Structure 1
Amino acid sequence: MLDARRHATSQPSPPLRMSATRLDLRLDQMSGAAQRWPRLVLVLLCLALFLPGFFSIPATDRDESRFAQATRQMVETGDYVHIRVGEEERNKKPVGIHWAQAASVHLLEATGLADRSDIWAYRLPSLLGAILAVLATFQFGRGLVGRRAAMLGAAMLAGCMVLMVEAHIAKTDAALLASVTAAMGLFGLAYLRPGSFSARQAAAFWVILGLGVLLKGPIAPMVPLLTGLTLAITDRRRGGPWLHAPWLGALRLSWGLPLMLAIVLPWMIAIGIATEGRFFSQAIGGDMLGKVGSGDEKHWGPPGFYLLTFLVAAFPAGFLVLLALRQSWAERGQPAIRFLIAWVVPTWLVFEAVATKLPHYTLPTYPALMMLGAAWALDPLRTEPPRWLRWLARLAVAGVALGLAAVAVALPWFVTGHEPLGALLALPAALLLIWLTWREMGRAHWARAAAVAVVAALPIYVSVMQLTFPRIEAIWIAPRIEALLARAAPGLPSEKFGITGHAEPSTLFHVGGGLQLLRRGEDAAIFLTADAGRVVAVGDRAEADFRREAARLGLRLEEMGSVDGLNYTRGRRVTLRFYRVATP
């Protein structure tokens, strides 16, 4: 536990309270409500942050559509062991997120709220995972940094831009964060008070880790393993054993590890048999080791990438972490602070060492980082940061806020030549956030500055995620392909539709798993000859080859329409023309 000063409050003096502005009084009222109903306030905050765009953004490429399509095929075939996208096995990640998504789809279909063609039905586990991660940060953070700091840290985590984005995407990382945060919260209790850590809590720790393994393989147990090794080494006494880990007995390793394996092994054995071992060779040898040694799918970054991008990923309140680092390191002798640092440092270094880098990879360390920042901000005896660091924090907040506003305006303009009205709201929203946050920074009210930043980020997120991004029609090619087929060839089975020049997973999700992805224009012409009633979409780069081969085969073509737009995964424009064989 932190010493008693961590639980002291830093209320303003009476003269300051008497001269407070109306805004200050309203902020005090909001803070009081948050302390009275912390879980309700956190859930409402999460919904306000995460729901803009949740229902309106179409299926994105590429990971989200791959995960959603694999789950959809599970639902449609009843095969909950294999993971397939179209005809291709997807032997990369375990099955946990697909089971969660399938349960979400079945529940929503049973209640009539959605069906399997709605992408948001597959996003629901990510939304719930993000909310649970925030609640777990508060729940377990109380025993690490105190109730008020845990509340602030949880709110800071909710506001993180990287978590907001992950809550909108139907894949593993938000759900993984929930499992890691809960497991590490229980680990923290075992570390601080091993004598009072119950068998039930130990069982929960291992069950949660087992679920984490089913979500993303070794990442979930890696975090507590690295944390435990770090603590065992740093806690050893002079002249004592090389490793010192009294908390290990509290975790009941002797039966806890078999309990975790009992959750994981049934599916592992089933998928190993079903794929004749291909899942493990491809998931470990191809996916995991490929990311370690090289930049998978061009997602390469140098060591230090996560450090350089942290204030963007953790916007708007991540600046508190930057300001708190020096004091947190100086106070690493305190068990709670040492545990949080051990949670962050080794895991962070592992991800910095891995060649493949994406902003969300370090997300499992964010709850600890936010708690460190919140504990510093609420410490009445904190060491104030130097002037240059305070200005760096200010510039980071302003730079990211203005950058988001610029993207909201520039992206639609670049793609379509005009911007939605909602994009224009991003700039005043960014200026409001900067003014409110800088105002509290100038008073050294660091906790209030972070809380204000999170709340003030709401209109920016609404502007970008709800009013701008879904309205850039040119980048949403797959829904327009689906609409054209429904209009020009209603009832066409997906097996009778082929496409070349746009082999993106979102098209599979919108059109159906039977869609034929054709490599060349010649293949599209040959596809038309195989059966009556077939339709092909031909990209502009394959158009000449398609027409040449169609002429050679003697096909009389009927053009049905076209779809054009920007393939944002490749950064190039594409025009797709739809053809079928004309009836005599």
Structure 2
Amino acid sequence: MDGFVAQQRLSLRHFSMAQLASVIERSHARLCAVLILLSLVCFLPGFISLQPMDRDEPRYAQASKQMLETRDFVDIRFQDEARHKKPVGIYWMQSATVALGEALGVPSAHTTVALYRIPSLLGALATVLLTYWASLVFLNRRGAFLTAALMATSIILMVEARLAKTDAMLAACSVAAMGGLARAYLSRGAGVLPRRTLLIFWLGVAAGILIKGPLVLMFVGTTAAILSYRERSARWLLTLRPWLGAVGTLLVVLPWFIAIAIKSGGAFYSEAVGRDMLAKVGSGQEAHWAPPGFYLFAFFATFWPGAILAAIAIPFAWKHRREEPVAFALAWIIPSWLIFEAVPTKLPHYVMPLYPAIAILTVMAISRHFVGPYRPGAKVSTVLIPFIPIGLTVGLSAAAWSFDGTLPYRGLPILIASSLAALYAWRMFVMNQVLKSVWAGLISSALLAVGVFGFTQLDLRSLKLSPRLAEVARNLSCEKPRVATLGYREPSLVFLVGTDLEMLETGPEASHFLKQDGCRLVFVEKRFEDAFRTENDRLGQHPTLSTRVTGFNINSGRRLDIGAYSSGF
């Protein structure tokens, strides 16, 4: 009797879960609501508490801050330096969110980096939802949901959702454009595309150009060219209303491009094209050189937890390459991927706009029972499923112990839970329970986001040099002190301390800075202190050592010891 009751309870539980899934799948709105909840779990932990991450994020945020300070929304500047590398789109979005936060009474809105991150958060959410929309051309609702969930839980999108940069929003624009292009190709001959599809496609193109220049055109153009060659005709593109769409796009993007040309005397184009884009093509810009194959290697970390499943699905893509949906996804991925691999300058997020297509192919392969432990080498390769959370748990614990002499106690239980969920995902895959393995991987990734960003980073105090130095400046007893820095020049310090932060080159410069009138504070890195003290002795001045701040600079790979010296009190 007890066994019968237990069996009935188990059946009822399974029936209830199946019924719940069935109810959710009946509505796009319900599925999208679940995707939003999953995304917020992955994107929000640490969104406010994570310090400005050098070097790119504070450069974008500082340039947006200066737009608000100067009321000049055409030119883009970092302190006195023109920042003519990317178009203005993301700066406008960041300025708007900060202005709104200030209007709503957010304290210190201009130096609250979370406000500058809101466009990236919205871009990441849009990427997930637009991946669902684009996937519906290839898969049923459940498959499209799983595809979008793989994007939401991918490490690269979780990172970019928290950084005030262009890349999350560019990914949203790209998948919007590619979703429209997929509908044009896969439904060719069916007549006119819905207005909503046309609007999403052309808004994705126009916004993508304003955010990061020609990249969205590369994704669309290379895919369209290959598919047109395959069809021996480009007539299918006419359903996108190209002439009308091109005119609308120009009306959106041309005003600023004309304004910046006039404002900068053409310097924007020589800098953006000549020194930024061509420099990346010709050589590894800003020490970001990497050999061909870098993105393939990085993929297994950046697209975790779906990466290893995607690798197992590669033979499926080759075997079914003549099928139109598979051909479209391959045309989306391969040419742009090869271009990125050929360019010497490489950063992991460059290929992120291609990941939705990889997720689509992966779920297609899973839905056709192609992915499983019976594939050659699959059982061995899936060791990478638990490798990432276990590696991060060990690595972050070691870093905290090395830098701060403690363990990340707040985040450690959640990191361990993430590792256990990943081990369960591995076990389910080996037992040929692929869907259960996917769900366990999604749960592991969500736990990893909470553990790493929500808690562990709080305990890595040595990595928070700029916030600690900025706190020293804020705690001075005088109002509006003049601040300078010697030896530590990270953009995050400019963002947190103020646009007028002075960057010094030598110890005597720092000494002469303090000699001037008014309340003054200078940060001196230990390597420069002997020259600084020698000049102070020569000038007969005795600045006050307010405090010392020690920590580790990730960008330089060095431990730093910085003295905060003040005068004029």
1:331 lines up with 2:320 in the alignment: yes
1:35 lines up with 2:25 in the alignment: yes
The answer on whether the counterparts of 1:198 and 1:250 sit within 8 Å (CA) in structure 2 is no
The answer on whether the counterparts of 1:167 and 1:174 sit within 8 Å (CA) in structure 2 is yes
Pick one of 228, 236, 244 that aligns with 1:247.
Answer: 236
Specify the alignment match of 1:6 in structure 2.
none
- Once structures 1 and 2 are overlaid, which stretch shifts more, 456-465 or 338-347? 456-465
Alignment length (residue pairs): 557
Deviations 1:313-337 (A, max 9, x none): 1111222211211112211222111
1:74 lines up with 2:78 in the alignment: no
Specify the alignment match of 1:518 in structure 2.
504
1:456 lines up with 2:444 in the alignment: yes
Task: Please give the secondary structure, in 2, of the residue aligned with 1:52.
Answer: coil
* Offset of residue 479 of structure 1: 1.3
Shift in CA distance, 578/428, structure 1 to aligned 2, threshold 3 Å: closer
TM-score (norm 1): 0.91
Task: Please give the secondary structure, in 1, of the residue aligned with 2:545.
Answer: strand
**Residue type of the alignment partner of 1:57:** L
Could you tell me which runs of 5 or more consecutive residues in structure 1 were left unpaired when the two chains were aligned.
1-16, 237-243
Pick one of 224, 227, 234 that aligns with 1:231.
Answer: 227
Distance in 2 of aligned mates of 1:73 and 1:400: 39
Trace 1:314-463 onto structure 2 (pairs within 5 A): 314-379=303-368, 382=370, 386-463=374-451
Distance in 2 of aligned mates of 1:463 and 1:291: 35
Specify the alignment match of 1:117 in structure 2.
111
Deviations 1:359-408 (A, max 9, x none): 1111010011101111111125x475644432244211122221111122
Specify the alignment match of 1:501 in structure 2.
487
* Offset of residue 187 of structure 1: 0.7
* Offset of residue 145 of structure 1: 2.1
Shift in CA distance, 577/118, structure 1 to aligned 2, threshold 3 Å: same
1:567 lines up with 2:519 in the alignment: no
1:149 lines up with 2:133 in the alignment: no
* Offset of residue 58 of structure 1: 1.3
Distance in 2 of aligned mates of 1:385 and 1:18: 32
* Offset of residue 140 of structure 1: 2.2
* Offset of residue 441 of structure 1: 0.9
Distance in 2 of aligned mates of 1:559 and 1:383: 63
The answer on whether the counterparts of 2:35 and 2:149 sit within 8 Å (CA) in structure 1 is yes
Larger relative CO (CA 8 A, sep 6+): 1 or 2? 1
Distance in 2 of aligned mates of 1:414 and 1:23: 47
Shift in CA distance, 392/562, structure 1 to aligned 2, threshold 3 Å: same
The answer on whether the counterparts of 2:411 and 2:456 sit within 8 Å (CA) in structure 1 is yes
Pick one of 504, 514, 518 that aligns with 1:532.
Answer: 518
Specify the alignment match of 1:258 in structure 2.
247
Distance in 2 of aligned mates of 1:18 and 1:372: 38
The Cα RMSD (Å) is 2.2
The answer on whether the counterparts of 2:155 and 2:302 sit within 8 Å (CA) in structure 1 is yes
Specify the alignment match of 1:171 in structure 2.
165
Task: Please give the secondary structure, in 2, of the residue aligned with 1:329.
Answer: helix
1:491 lines up with 2:487 in the alignment: no
**Residue type of the alignment partner of 1:500:** L
* Offset of residue 427 of structure 1: 4.9
* Offset of residue 20 of structure 1: 7.2
1:205 lines up with 2:195 in the alignment: no
Distance in 1 of aligned mates of 2:196 and 2:357: 24
**Residue type of the alignment partner of 2:417:** A
Distance in 1 of aligned mates of 2:164 and 2:15: 40
Specify the alignment match of 2:80 in structure 1.
87
Specify the alignment match of 2:4 in structure 1.
none
Distance in 2 of aligned mates of 1:405 and 1:78: 45
Distance in 2 of aligned mates of 1:133 and 1:269: 30
Distance in 2 of aligned mates of 1:23 and 1:117: 50
The answer on whether the counterparts of 1:140 and 1:185 sit within 8 Å (CA) in structure 2 is yes
Shift in CA distance, 21/308, structure 1 to aligned 2, threshold 3 Å: farther
**Residue type of the alignment partner of 1:63:** D
The answer on whether the counterparts of 1:521 and 1:545 sit within 8 Å (CA) in structure 2 is yes
Pick one of 284, 290, 295 that aligns with 2:284.
Answer: 295
1:545 lines up with 2:538 in the alignment: no
Specify the alignment match of 2:268 in structure 1.
279
1:181 lines up with 2:170 in the alignment: no
The answer on whether the counterparts of 1:155 and 1:451 sit within 8 Å (CA) in structure 2 is no
Identity within the alignment, %: 38
Shift in CA distance, 102/392, structure 1 to aligned 2, threshold 3 Å: farther
Distance in 2 of aligned mates of 1:24 and 1:435: 23
- Once structures 1 and 2 are overlaid, which stretch shifts more, 87-96 or 150-159? 87-96
Shift in CA distance, 119/536, structure 1 to aligned 2, threshold 3 Å: same
* Offset of residue 25 of structure 1: 7.1
Distance in 2 of aligned mates of 1:559 and 1:416: 23
* Offset of residue 67 of structure 1: 0.7
The answer on whether the counterparts of 1:340 and 1:372 sit within 8 Å (CA) in structure 2 is yes
Shift in CA distance, 179/427, structure 1 to aligned 2, threshold 3 Å: closer
Task: Please give the secondary structure, in 2, of the residue aligned with 1:302.
Answer: coil
* Offset of residue 285 of structure 1: 1.2
- Once structures 1 and 2 are overlaid, which stretch shifts more, 448-457 or 211-220? 448-457
1:193 lines up with 2:187 in the alignment: yes
Shift in CA distance, 27/56, structure 1 to aligned 2, threshold 3 Å: farther
Task: Please give the secondary structure, in 2, of the residue aligned with 1:538.
Answer: strand
Shift in CA distance, 113/558, structure 1 to aligned 2, threshold 3 Å: closer
Distance in 2 of aligned mates of 1:23 and 1:542: 68
Specify the alignment match of 1:13 in structure 2.
none
The answer on whether the counterparts of 1:294 and 1:355 sit within 8 Å (CA) in structure 2 is yes
Could you tell me which runs of 5 or more consecutive residues in structure 2 were left unpaired when the two chains were aligned.
1-6
Deviations 1:416-443 (A, max 9, x none): 1211202422552243223321232133
* Offset of residue 534 of structure 1: 2.2
Specify the alignment match of 1:557 in structure 2.
543
The answer on whether the counterparts of 1:50 and 1:127 sit within 8 Å (CA) in structure 2 is yes
Shift in CA distance, 19/447, structure 1 to aligned 2, threshold 3 Å: farther
The answer on whether the counterparts of 2:151 and 2:355 sit within 8 Å (CA) in structure 1 is yes
Shift in CA distance, 387/480, structure 1 to aligned 2, threshold 3 Å: same
Distance in 1 of aligned mates of 2:533 and 2:258: 49
Distance in 1 of aligned mates of 2:432 and 2:8: 19
Distance in 2 of aligned mates of 1:385 and 1:219: 38
1:307 lines up with 2:303 in the alignment: no
Pick one of 50, 54, 60 that aligns with 2:53.
Answer: 60
The answer on whether the counterparts of 2:518 and 2:568 sit within 8 Å (CA) in structure 1 is no
* Offset of residue 201 of structure 1: 3.3
